[in-house]
Amino acid sequence: MRMTKCSILAASIMALAAGVAHADVTLSVLIDTNPESIASFDAVSKAYMEKHPDVTFDVEQRAGGSEGDNIVKTRLATGEMADVFQYNSGSLFQALKPQETITDLSDLPSEAGIQDSFKKVVTSPDGHVRGIPFGSAMGGGIFYNRKIYADLGLTPPKTWAEFMSNNEKIKAAGKVAVAQTYGTTWTSQLFVLADFYNVQSEVPNFADDYTANKVKYANTPAALRGFEHLEEVAKGGYLNADFGAATFDDGMRMVATGEAAHYPNLTFGIGNVQQNFPDNLKDLGFFAQPGTDATKNGLTVWMPSALYVSAKSANVEEAKKFLDFVGSKEACDLMAKAVPSGPYLVKGCELPKDIPPAVSDMLPYFETAGRNGPALEFLSPVKGPALEQITVEVGTGIRSAKDAAALYDQDVEKQAKQLGLPNW
């Protein structure tokens, strides 16, 4: 918060120095607490205020995970949402009833330069685009410490069996093999969600059949496997002693500094290390979550979050102008320079040449056809809200993988009925 506020204040002072007596419009903004979000918004808001000295921003930050979901849903429902807010694309966006709560952005000129793959995941049921990409596409997989791998003579695994073999060697060397951070509950989902590329490789129609209520996690061996992986790693004794209380920040610190060899997460964590442990950025590596077949090794991809305009904003037109700028190549280049953590989805926007090794590790999955696929939440509107609590139970040994999958199937059913999907 301090970084963003200070930058906005500095830009406001510059505006005053240019002879502007006061700001004509103040846009309220709600973003999450991730360092990448802060750095990205800092970059685009400063640039916008230099072009528009009559505009300033009042930025507030919210928690992530289910707590953040509840904040966003409550504020939209009560009409207290900020003018501009950041939130997920895909299934979580659909759960907001976007045609009622979020402003239509289809007419923004910048939409012409945004890749169709992103526009699909911020399009409401009425066919209107309602979001602008905020950040880069992300991979879901496993961070690893390059020094530990070099010291122990390990190579990044392409099968789950190879991954578990590496864990055993790391444990035998007296090191933490896998960092887990259930104090930040959403991080508990990664072994399940990042496995979807492998699920789809084995069951190509899973997403459609899942949406149509024809298949379940509990009765689909390939889908159940993610829960089993979570259970297997916990039972292997590979985790940090404080896994129940450790946070996302702790996990990124551990894998970057060599306190742990692995940390399953999304690649936006690169920005966390870049900000907090820049000297260790070169030691951070990344690989896709391995499946059962080395010849089908690929990456589960998350679309970036989006910036939206509340339908009840008192400053809709000014907010749309700002989002039009955020969707431009100019703004995207600024974000890519500030947060070079993955490919951006604005045409012509490229990463700088000097990128962190973990980003270099991720790019081959995007450069080779068939080596990446979207996470389930971008192919199906169904995502149960209790998954992160259920996966914490598996990761802490409270619930078995099979029971957890069955419980999640029940959670999903509630969500599907709320969305009014057929066959549920």
What digits encode the pLDDT tens for the residues 147-189?
999 999 999 999 999 999 999 999 999 999 999 999 999 999 9
Element (H or E) spanning 163, and its range?
A: helix 160-172
Query: Are residue 265 and residue 383 in the same domain, yes or no?
Result: yes
Query: Are residue 68 and residue 154 in the same domain, yes or no?
Result: no
Whether the per-residue pLDDT at 234 is higher than 60: the answer is: yes
Query: Are residue 311 and residue 273 in the same domain, yes or no?
Result: no
Q: Could you read off the pLDDT of 2-23 as tens digits, one per residue? A: 334 444 544 444 444 444 444 5
Query: Are residue 9 and residue 92 in the same domain, yes or no?
Result: yes
- CB environment 121-142: b (16+ within 10 A), e (fewer): bbbbeeebbbbbbbbbbbbbbb
Query: Are residue 165 and residue 190 in the same domain, yes or no?
Result: yes
Count of the separate structural domains present in the chain: 2
Whether the per-residue pLDDT at 369 is higher than 90: the answer is: no
User: In one letter, which amino acid is 281?
Assistant: L
Residue 287 in any domain: the answer is: yes
Residue 105 in any domain: the answer is: yes
C-alpha span between 138 and 363 (Å, rounded): 10
Q: Could you read off the pLDDT of 375-417 as tens digits, one per residue? A: 999 999 898 889 999 999 999 999 999 999 999 999 999 889 9
Computed on alpha carbons and rounded to an integer, the radius of gyration of the chain in Å comes to 21
Find the domain containing 297 and state its range.
138-301+360-419
pLDDT of residue 88: 94
Residue 33 in any domain: the answer is: yes
C-alpha span between 356 and 96 (Å, rounded): 35
| pLDDT > 70: percent of the chain | 95
Q: Which whole number is the average pLDDT over 339-355?
A: 91
Whether the per-residue pLDDT at 343 is higher than 60: the answer is: yes
Query: Are residue 269 and residue 320 in the same domain, yes or no?
Result: no
Query: Are residue 271 and residue 413 in the same domain, yes or no?
Result: yes
Q: Could you read off the pLDDT of 182-219 as tens digits, one per residue? A: 999 999 999 999 999 999 999 999 999 999 999 999 99
Q: Could you read off the pLDDT of 100-131 as tens digits, one per residue? A: 999 999 999 999 999 998 999 999 999 999 99
Query: Are residue 237 and residue 296 in the same domain, yes or no?
Result: yes
Q: Could you read off the pLDDT of 284-328 as tens digits, one per residue? A: 999 999 999 999 999 999 999 999 999 999 999 999 999 999 999
Query: Are residue 144 and residue 261 in the same domain, yes or no?
Result: yes
C-alpha span between 407 and 234 (Å, rounded): 19
Contacts of 11 by beta carbon, 8 Å cutoff, 6+ apart: 45, 46, 49, 50, 56
Whether the per-residue pLDDT at 243 is higher than 70: the answer is: yes
Predicted confidence band of residue 341 (pLDDT cuts 50, 70, 90): confident
Residue 346 in any domain: the answer is: no
Q: Are 297 and 80 in contact (CB under 8 A)?
A: no
Residue 349 in any domain: the answer is: no
Predicted confidence band of residue 82 (pLDDT cuts 50, 70, 90): very high
% helix, strand, coil for the chain, step of 5: 50, 15, 35
pLDDT of residue 9: 47
Residue 352 in any domain: the answer is: no
Contacts of 284 by beta carbon, 8 Å cutoff, 6+ apart: 143, 144, 145, 146, 255, 256, 270, 273, 356, 357, 358
C-alpha span between 270 and 88 (Å, rounded): 19
Query: Are residue 214 and residue 315 in the same domain, yes or no?
Result: no
pLDDT of residue 33: 92
Q: Could you read off the pLDDT of 24-71 as tens digits, one per residue? A: 999 999 999 988 899 999 999 999 999 999 999 999 999 988 899 999
Domain with residue 109: its CATH number is: 3.40.190.10
Residue 355 in any domain: the answer is: no
Residue 82 in any domain: the answer is: yes
Q: Are 188 and 408 in contact (CB under 8 A)?
A: no
Query: Are residue 308 and residue 412 in the same domain, yes or no?
Result: no
C-alpha span between 265 and 258 (Å, rounded): 16
Whether the per-residue pLDDT at 339 is higher than 80: the answer is: yes
pLDDT of residue 246: 98
Query: Are residue 42 and residue 110 in the same domain, yes or no?
Result: yes
